[in-house]
Structure 1
C-alpha cells in the first residue's frame, strides 16, 4: 500500500519509523529484531536509509596512505524485501542522487518494482567527500527534483532508453523538507520554493528533518500552504538521549536545541538524560497530533528501546 493511502484511510495520526542497514559484513538479524520490537505498535511503514560510497584514507605499513572508496552500509533493497516478506509491512527505501548514476537509479527502481515495493523517498543525499566519476554514456541527477522527475517518468512508462511497450511503475514518492531551512539554502522562502518544485514534479508527500521546537514545524507548514503545497507534511522527530547530542545534532543535522531542553539536559545526571528526552518527545508528539498532522516519523536508526517509551503511552491512549 502507498504511504498516501495509509494516511487517507486512517482517522488518527500514524506513527512510522526510520532505520539504517547494518554495516558491511554485518547481520540483518539485529535490525530485523528492531522491526519485530515495533510490531505491537502497528507501524504502517518503515523507512530504510540508503548510503552511497564514501572515501576513506588508510595508512599502510610503509607509512604511506591509500585512498579507499566503498559503501559502508549496502543492502537497502534487500532489507526492504526482508521486512516486507517477514512482517507484511510496507517499506520506504531511500533513493539518492549523490553517488549514483541515473542508470543505477533506474536499475534499483526496477528491482524495487519487481519486489512489489510501492514507496520511495527521493533525496539528494549528503556530501560525503566522494564524487562519482561519470562516463560519457551515463548521467546523474544533481538535485532531488531531478530524481523525482526520473521516478515520475518511469511511472509514465518512460525509461532512459527508448523501450518498446515499456511497463510503467507506480511509485508513491516522498521528499524531504526542512522546517529550520536547509543549511545550504539562503533563506526559508527560497528553500520552500525548491520544495514546491519537487511537489510540482510529482512528489506525493513530505517528511521533515528532525526538529525539537514544534513552532518551526507549524511555521513551515503555514508557509508551504501559502505557496500552494497541498501534499501531506509529516513531522520527523528524534529522541535526544545523550548529553553529546547537544553538540552532535546541531552540528550534523543543523537543528536547534531549545534553551529549556538544552539547559535541563546539561544540568542532568547522564543516566537521566534519556528520560528527559523521552518526556520532551512525548510532549512534542502529543502537540503535533492535536494539531492534526497526518503522522509522526521517528528517526530511530538501529534501536527501538527508547522510542518504545515514547509511543507506548500514546498507543495505549488510542487503544
Structure 2
C-alpha cells in the first residue's frame, strides 16, 4: 500500500512510524528484529530503513603514508527492507540516496526493489563525506535530490537514464523526501530551503519527513511558511527522544537543531543518563501530545539508541 494513502487513512487516530539502521557489516539481524518486535504491537504505518553507501577510512601503508579508502559499513538496506516486509508484514520505506552512488547503481537498486515488490521510497541526497567541506557528487552520480527524483520519474515512465526503454516496466515507485524545520545546514536561509522543498513537491514528492527537532514552535513556524509558499503535501514531524546528558552538546552539532532553553535547563540538572532518559521521554511525550492536538495525524520516531524510550512514549500516547 502507498505510504501517502496510509498517512491519509483514519486521520482521527494517532499514528506513528519509525526509522531503523541496517546492521553493521558482519553482524546479524537479531538486534534489528528485536527493535521491531518491541514496536510492532503499536501498528506502525511504515518502517523507514536508512542507507549508508560509503565512508572514508585511512589505511597506513608500509611506507608510512596514509591511503584514503571508501568503505561501506552498513550494506544491505534493500535486503533488510525485504526481510522486514516479509517477516513482519509492515510496509517498508528504504532510503535511496545520491551519496556514494552512480546513476547506474541507482538503476540497479530500483530494479532490485521492483523484483522484491517494494515500491515506497524516501529519496535523499545523503550526507557529505566527513572529510569533505561540502557535498561532492560521486563520479557519474547526482549532486541534488531533485536530480534523483527526475531519474525515478523517468524510470516510472519506463525509461533508463540513457533513454533506453525498459522492456518490462514493473510497479511504479511512490516517494517522499526530507525537510528541515530549522533549515538544512548547507542552506543559507529557510526561504531557500522551502523553495527546494516546493520544487521536490512539484516534481512528484507526495509527503515529507522532517529532521528531528525539540522545539514545536519551530515546526509550527516551518509549516506556516511552507503552506504560504504553496507546499501542500503532508509533512510528518520527526522526533528523537533525548537519552543521555552528553546529547546536550552532541545533538545540536550533529543534527543542526536547537535545544530549547527549558529542556537545556532541565538536562543540566540530570546527574545520570537514567535521569536524562526519563527527561527525554517526558519531553518527547509532551511534544507529541501538542503535535497531535494541533492536527498532526502521524509522528515519525528516530529509534537509534532510543527504542525503549520510544516504546514508553507511544504507550503513553495511544
Structure 1 position 314, deviation (Å): 1.1
Aligned position for 1:51: 52
Q: CA deviation at 1:169?
A: 3.7
Q: Could you list the runs of 5+ residues in structure 2 that have no partner in the other structure?
A: none
Deviations 1:218-246 (A, max 9, x none): 11111111111111100001101101111
Separation in 1, partners of 2:317, 2:38: 16
Who is 1:239 aligned against? 241
CA contact (8 A) 1:34 1:303 kept: no
Distance 2:195 2:99 in 1: 21
State the match for 2:79 in structure 1.
Answer: 78
Given that 2:241 and 2:306 are in contact with CA atoms closer than 8 Å, whether structure 1 keeps it comes out as: no
Shift of 1:86: 0.3
Query: What RMSD in Å do the two structures reach over aligned CA positions?
Result: 1.6
The equivalent position to 2:220 in structure 1, one of 218, 239, 262, is: 218
Q: Distance in 1 between matches of 2:292 and 2:2?
A: 21
Q: Determine the structure 1 residue equivalent to 2:286.
A: 283
Q: Secondary structure at the match of 1:16?
A: strand
Counterparts in 2 of 1:60 and 1:227: CA distance versus 1, 3 Å: same
Report the Cα offset of residue 294 of structure 1: 3.0
For residue 126 of structure 1, report the CA deviation from its aligned partner.
0.5
* Partner of residue 313, structure 1: 316
- Deviation of 1:59 after TM superposition, in Å, equals 3.2
- In 2, the alpha carbon distance for the partners of 1:65 and 1:178 equals 37
Instruction: Compute the displacement of 1:151 (Å).
Output: 1.1
Does residue 30 in structure 1 map to residue 28 in structure 2? no
- 3-state SS, counterpart of residue 303 of structure 2: strand
> Which residues of 2 match residues 1-319 of structure 1 at below 5 A?
1-11=1-11, 12-59=13-60, 63-128=64-129, 129=131, 134=139, 139-161=140-162, 162-163=164-165, 165-270=167-272, 271-301=274-304, 304-315=307-318
Q: Describe the SS at the equivalent of 1:163.
A: coil
Q: 1:233 to 1:133 in 2, by over 3 A?
A: closer
Compute the TM-score of the two structures, normalised by the length of structure 2: 0.94
Contact 1:246 1:262 survives alignment (8 Å): yes
Q: Distance in 1 between matches of 2:257 and 2:56?
A: 26
SS of the aligned residue for 1:301 comes to coil
Under a length normalisation based on structure 1, what TM-score does the superposition of the two structures give? 0.93
- Retained in 2: the 8 A contact 1:92–1:121? yes
Quote the Cα distance in structure 1 between the aligned partners of 2:14 and 2:96.
25
Q: Which stretch has the larger CA shift, 94-103 or 57-66?
A: 57-66
> Unaligned 5+ residue runs, structure 1?
none
Instruction: Determine helix, strand or coil for the equivalent of 1:17.
Output: strand
What SS does structure 1 have at the residue aligned with 2:210?
Answer: strand
Q: CA deviation at 1:9?
A: 1.7
Where 1:157 maps in the other structure, the secondary structure is coil
Query: C-alpha separation between the residues in 2 aligned to 1:103 and 1:188?
Result: 33
- Deviation (angstroms), 1:292: 1.2
Paired residues in the alignment total: 311
- What per-residue deviation string (whole Å, max 9, x for no partner) do you get for residues 97-123 of structure 1? 111011111110111111111210001
Structure 1 residue 163: deviation in Å?
A: 1.9
Matched residue of 2:198: which SS? helix
